[in-house]
Amino acid sequence: MMDWSDRHFRHFLRLLAPRALLYTEMIVAQAILKGDRPRLLDFDASEHPVALQLGGSDPAQLAQSARIGEEWGYDEVNLNVGCPSDRVQNASFGACLMARPALVAECVAAMRSAVAIPVTVKCRIGIDDLDSYEFLEEFVDTVAAAGCGTFIVHARKAILAGLSPRQNREIPPLHYPTVWRLKEARPALTIVINGGIRALAGAEPHWARVDGVMVGREAYHNPYAFAALDRRAWPADGPIPEPRLVVERMRPYFERELARGTRLHSITRHMLGLYAGRPGARAWRRTLSELGRRDGADFSVVEQACRAADGLGAEPAGA
């Protein structure tokens, strides 16, 4: 979810899903040590609980970055061992690390010694020819022995050569029973399933078999599907707010961010899915996309997009 699940998106999603654990985009440990930490790590208090997802393979760097994340106020640190992109592989981290479970364990042990908050791992069920259940179980056992009690498992293997990240989310077949089997074999571990889950109905088979469900891009494109999953887990949280109410609750955030120099489009680009599957979705997207990019655009653009979605006002010229 790099460039997607930034602080603006997480604040927006929190209004729809009050309790779900939210994750940052993957942030390279070295960037935290040498880069603009406020830009990389700042988040709104409303986002809690929120986990910092790290990429890297150097135990010392990861430990230091994890400590900084804890000091910044994050509730969890997650090591991404599932991303298959060439850029990540070239830096020797992400999914390629599954071939080196001892190194992943060393990274986890270093992070665990540096922080008091949970350290978790996100991985695949395998990579390339290392795709047997026995390989996955051995990988998990090795890393768990270093102090990791929670694994978020994407139920596809990653093919590290010849497929793009998008193809790696679509071409290798999903195999949910592998993740279910892992939970059954290791009941003391917290096992969260990920991959291809797009709606409440699609998540239902998993509730009794694993400890949690992770949803990624579907939460971005269809946030109400994510909200339905949140209410499935915590039904006492009450009804999901309608789009108009979500927009109104976003108003103070827009005002704060615009006052500090944030461009409107930096926030609204993450809200294009608010009306997904509803009448007016096209008008909503088009108004935000065309007017939200203009210099000086303010919250009135979001209000105009609402009116257009509700059929109460015109879309931008040319619609």
Q: Which helix or strand (DSSP H or E) is residue 121 part of?
A: strand 119-127
Q: How many domains does the chain have?
A: 2
Asked whether the predicted pLDDT for residue 90 surpasses 60, the reply is no
Judge if 103 and 220 occupy the same domain.
Answer: yes
Residue 154 lies in a domain: yes
Asked whether the predicted pLDDT for residue 319 surpasses 60, the reply is no
Q: Which helix or strand (DSSP H or E) is residue 177 part of?
A: helix 176-185
Q: What is the mean pLDDT of residues 121-129?
A: 95
Q: What is the pLDDT of residue 312?
A: 64
β-pairing verdict for 190-194 and 150-158: parallel
* pLDDT tens digits along 40-49: 999 999 999 9
Asked whether the predicted pLDDT for residue 318 surpasses 50, the reply is no
Q: What is the mean pLDDT of residues 136-164?
A: 93
Q: Which helix or strand (DSSP H or E) is residue 39 part of?
A: helix 37-41
Judge if 108 and 155 occupy the same domain.
Answer: yes
Residue 71 CB-density burial (10 A; 0-12 exposed, 13-18 middle, 19+ buried): exposed
202: helix, strand or coil: helix
As a whole number of angstroms, the distance between CA 46 and CA 35 comes to 25
Contact predicate 297/291, CB 8 Å: yes
Q: What is the pLDDT of residue 199?
A: 79
Residue with tokens 């929190």: 14
Domain that holds residue 289: 243-309
* pLDDT tens digits along 275-293: 999 999 999 999 999 999 9
Residue 316 lies in a domain: no
Judge if 229 and 287 occupy the same domain.
Answer: no
Q: Quickly list DSSP for 41-71.
A: H---GGG-SEEEEEE-S-HHHHHHHHHHHHH
* pLDDT tens digits along 229-264: 999 889 988 899 999 999 999 999 999 999 999 999
Task: Return the higher-pLDDT residue of 172 and 181.
Answer: 181
Pair of tokens at residue 104: 């992943």
Asked whether the predicted pLDDT for residue 94 surpasses 90, the reply is no
Judge if 183 and 301 occupy the same domain.
Answer: no
Asked whether the predicted pLDDT for residue 314 surpasses 60, the reply is no
Residue where a domain stops, chosen among 237, 254, 287? 237
pLDDT band of residue 162 (cuts 50, 70, 90) is: confident
Asked whether the predicted pLDDT for residue 175 surpasses 80, the reply is yes
Q: What is the pLDDT of residue 316?
A: 60
DSSP state of 241: P
Which residue in 83, 96, 107, 148 is the catalytic one? 83
83 given a catalytic annotation? yes
As a whole number of angstroms, the distance between CA 285 and CA 26 comes to 27
- CATH number for the domain harbouring residue 147: 3.20.20.70
As a whole number of angstroms, the distance between CA 53 and CA 40 comes to 11
As a whole number of angstroms, the distance between CA 21 and CA 17 comes to 9
Q: What is the pLDDT of residue 83?
A: 77
Q: Which residues contact 138 (CB under 8 A, 6 or more apart)?
A: 101
Residue where a domain stops, chosen among 222, 237, 252? 237
Asked whether the predicted pLDDT for residue 87 surpasses 80, the reply is no
Judge if 84 and 177 occupy the same domain.
Answer: yes
Work out the percent of the chain whose per-residue pLDDT is above 90: 78
